[in-house]
Structure 1
């Protein structure tokens, strides 16, 4: 069944009214459905329509539900069990993978992968542990409330292997990976969903009332070929998947005959693997690649028998062992606790663990919480640091002084414990002779020092164990991003493309007044001879802030196909953009390729691009650049028109002027405009002039925008449209 978005909405309202027994409303809906059917026009490609809607289905005793039967996963003999249950028409939930996720997508338990002896190869290790990893991650994956479906998907099945046993009927399993090929014309749906290696697929076939099947796969590879002529990725997207579990894909004889025909389509439910698992899974699979970054030692450790003689021979070089043991025996700080009463030494087990770690290239130290593992790790880091200095002094090797000790942990808090110990030792005993450099993730860097260099498309939510993403004050001078920022001020002290007023805002707000316009920029003339008259105060002040009090709106289907449904656009600001493009081109001889329109919202980008395309004066000018702020990173343009989009009724904004807005209010009403990174990128893309279009009353609620607008007001660069 193929329905238009309007028909889907009416169907959803019908189901709500049916649950509420609102029969008068149902009659009205029937008339609307009939009317929409008569007025609807055939779509050229209805398969590209992506819909997002909320489903609520209460159940009461006596309700009739539609179910699909399958075989129980927990019984040895083939016992019937409910596999799918229909929530609303065309939306079915798989009870199997929700109840037994590890059995559906994997067939191995932790004890089976933890071999008592060594693995015979790194391939065996990856194969076993990736299945354990899948079994663990799928529990988190199936908890997601969102149901994502791809309908009418033509899977490509290759060869099959027949399995015979004495308990069940003969069945087939796929010998090779199963693949889904998505041609360019059907790739619009990929703008709404992201499919990666490690994601889970629940595949449903409905051949007839008496023949249906459900299979479970794990995505192994997502590949898009590059067109050799255009050098663009406009070829087919190929998604390969495999059945990892013993019960994942058992094809009966009847289904085997249907799949051999190659013309059957299916419905796929996508179950994304959580991002935290994705990173580890990708790293685990990387070891099998030809250009793997895994070292020989890191490959040898997981497949070795820890009790074997060969593993115990993984010792460090004799010279390193001698020096490190000498440091441990002679340096009192190597054995003593660094906090509390002086003179108290580490316990014998901790000292023995340190000796073993100094002797071997690899050492596993484990124990329950509170047994002093972090304390031991901090002492090891100190001993290795002193060893590096002793090696440099004894060998006279200039390269040995560049050796460093790297301490890693699963969370910021775990590293904070070791960092605190080393920081305390360095400050109170060593007089800061120990050089400590703390490396944080992007979340901490962005919150401490807004910098547009970071990739804004990779924003991640803060973890609960990261202290809100802030660097502790005592570690601030030892953090890498603070040191880089301090040491690179001279390098960043000039910005060749930014004119003085263009430079003033970002310099004062983001860079403590360090940025200065280069003399070459100050000496160059206007972009065209008549541009001096365009700016309110001439070419020496090439900034124009246009007050536009339009109304933002959430995107409809037309402009949300390539952005998420929560994106925003503003028609009044888009019209102002076109107006000033024409003014620049017609009255001031600015070339089309010199102008770029930037916005924080993808929906506004699509709206402006569509309006330019439909404008008889501008539609043939393909050189006009329209992009989101994120997409513009690293680029620069002669004239930038920045449309900020977010706006409300002026009366509503003034009503709130006596209320101190909190972070939630700012996020709801200003969204991306509260992101200093995006602000910085947006206002620093222009070489000759910047035009900002927005609602100044609303923008002033954000501290950064308030400072910017005050600068522009003091320079007389404000106009009202």
Structure 2
């Protein structure tokens, strides 16, 4: 349908229906109407997710509007700690389950393939909804066919092994027999909700409360916020604080490593681009060399764990990366370090018998029950042997609760990106006998993502790192940034880091040779592009988009491409899913260059860009209204993340009239003006 979309206008403007559509109530009627606060509106909207017929009266019902007990800074003991956090995790688990199970899709079209491991793989498009629910590799989905003349009803569970840029999902199925590969249409997809991560958090809190050996006495009191006398760990410090195979450390990184090795509990704050991963790897290297046993290294996300495992492995230490079983088919940049890879490629006699059984299993799809028993026992023994011989074990925080680690004890634990984990999530790796803990993160960037608003309000969104900072533990801050052009680091440094960020890159190192992009001030690659187009509510009704701004994003992207920048160097970020989807669509339809170029440009939310970088960033702010405010953009941490992803240059598109009402944005606009 080649309708001219520019002729279309939204039915809702500034949260009101257009006046010719619905007549404006008279003053008399407005006075008679019920006055309702924004808070009540939000609460009813929350209720609608579980009960679409809920009304304002339902808020009055007992138990509906009860807020859970909020987190505190200090806890009397681990039982009080557990009593506060357990209900919050339950709220989040119930909400997660409800969200995932409501995500069924019908009339899905499937194309079939066979993986290298001879397993069936189904490819299909699973469009993103506007809610924050994101599919990730390792998620379980059920693929169903309700049956027809050509094939009986069929279903199988599988797990996601990859997501393509075209929003296509690759699902590896468990079933090998009876898969309707001759059919392509009429399938349904459901989420299979797993409680594993929530169960492990609850389990860790229980262990913390009942098992005195789960953490050292000093750390027990420290975590509960009790006054403790500062302890120093007496051990011989290395002569050099760097590590083989890693870049030379700068002065603040050396000090960080040195101070961490002498303390039972340390926080390291790594602002954007300050070499957090290198510093963490150096710390782990020196810990492993102290002979206190194996070091456990965790982070909340798989991407962060992989990055760290790779860095630590380059120092020459023996690293094993433990993945969830559901992710073993997901391709990983550190495949050779993973436990499942090492199990398959180990050389010894026990191995050859296991190999034979493995081959048989691959060929036949299953083993006889006695062979299966034997295979499992051999595999377990091999896994244990490999894990025991490692210097360092790397896994996600939730992965530290894997039964394969249940008999291991780790005295030294480092958690990277710890500010993106909830507190009970951080506890999982700690209750395995920790005596020395290092939390690395940055509480000036985004915290953990909590879906359930009630749990977030009660404080589940505050990380352990943050609570310790408030309690007065001083984080050690890395101070030299190697990512941004010096003029791009100036504002974030002054605004979020008390002006302490130094530049480890010069203006010359961030001059893009051969790129002739028309920056307003040639040697300051940043500008604010004033937008006056209005925002509108996206099709889902839960997000926003701004057409004018999207059209201008395309213009800027095209200008970058024409001036010699390649698609992989550009990132488009926006806080709203509605705008993200609209920009992707608009660029592929209206971009004046080859369509493929626009497809290769990553368009994503600010949150999913955390921890990453691009040469050029285009930030689309979207919000532009008379009096609705700026919503999401209000969070200073989101602005910090958005402004610190770019290495060479940044373009911000937004409505200065609306943004400048917020003090932080006001100072950003003033900064751009003065530049």
Greater Rg over alpha carbons, structure: 1
RCO higher in structure (CA 8 A, sep ≥6): 2
Settle same-fold status: TM greater than 0.5.
Answer: no
Normalised TM-score (structure 2) = 0.42
Normalised TM-score (structure 1) = 0.40
